[in-house]
Structure 1
Amino acid sequence: MSTLNPTPTFKILYFASCATFTRLPFESLPAPLSLRDLFPTLEKRYPGMTKRVLESCAVTVNLEYVDLEDEEVTGKGTDGEGMVIKEGDEVALIPPVSSG
C-alpha cells in the first residue's frame, strides 16, 4: 500500500493591493524557501508584481515583521542563506496603508 507524501508548504497571505494583483487572498507555496528568494519566486508567478506591489510591502513571518534589508535575515554578504520559510509557516505581505 503506497502512502502519499504531500509536498511541504507554507501559507502566504495577500492583503490590499497584493490580493488585487494576485486575485487571491492567500495561497500555499512549496517549503522550505529562503526569504531572499520570496520576491523572485512571486515575480515568476506574477510578472510585474515586484515593481507594482512588492517593493513597498512589509513582510511578516509567523506574525513577526522581518527587515528585508537585514543581512542576517537575507543572508546577503554572508555565507548562509539567511532566514528560511519553513513548512507550516505563515507569511503575510502587507502594502502601505493610508488613512484620511
Structure 2
Amino acid sequence: MSQTFQIHYFSTASSYTKKQTESLPAPLPLPKLFDLLESRYPGIKERVLVSCAVSVGLEYVDVDGNGDEDGGKGGGAARVIGPGEEVAIIPPVSSG
C-alpha cells in the first residue's frame, strides 16, 4: 500500500484546486490537513475551507480538534489520516 491518502474535492473546493481528487502524503495528523492544503493552494482556508465539512472514510471529523478531548472515540485531536484512507472536502449544499 502506498504512503498516501486520497483527498476528494467537491463543488467550490474542486473549482478552487482545479482538481477533483489527488494523493497526499500519509500519515498526516488531521489538525495539519488545512495547513497542508493552504501551502498547496494559497487562500483556500479563508475562501473555501472555513465553511466546509470534512470526512475521513465515511465519518465526518472535526479538523480543528475542538470539542471533546478524545472525540468520544479515544482519538480526538490525535486522529491521524493513514495510508490508503479517503478524505472528502464537502462545501455546504443548498437547494431551492
35, 44, 66: which one aligns with 2:39: 44
Hey, what does 2:8 align to over in structure 1?
13
Q: Alpha-carbon deviations, 1:18-55, whole Å to 9, x = none?
A: 00000000000000000000000000000000000001
Q: Where in structure 2 are the equivalents of 1:57-96 lying within 5 Å? A: 57-68=52-63, 69-70=66-67, 71-72=69-70, 73-74=76-77, 82-96=78-92
**Partner Cα distance (2:87, 2:18) in 1:** 17
Gaps of 5+ in 2: 71-75
Between stretches 61-70 and 24-33, larger displacement belongs to 61-70
Find out whether 1:25 has 2:20 as its counterpart.
Answer: yes
Hey, what does 1:56 align to over in structure 2?
51
User: What SS does the aligned partner of 2:92 have?
Assistant: coil
Gaps of 5+ in 1: 1-5, 75-81
| 8 Å Cα contact 1:10-1:31 kept in structure 2 | yes
Post-superposition offset of 1:67: 2.4
Determine which structure has greater relative contact order: mean sequence separation of CA pairs < 8 Å that are 6+ residues apart, divided by chain length.
Answer: 2
**Partner Cα distance (1:83, 1:91) in 2:** 13
| Percent of pairs with identical residues | 56
| 8 Å Cα contact 1:60-1:92 kept in structure 2 | yes
| 8 Å Cα contact 2:9-2:89 kept in structure 1 | yes
Deviating above 3 A after TM superposition, structure 1's stretches of 4 or more consecutive aligned residues are none
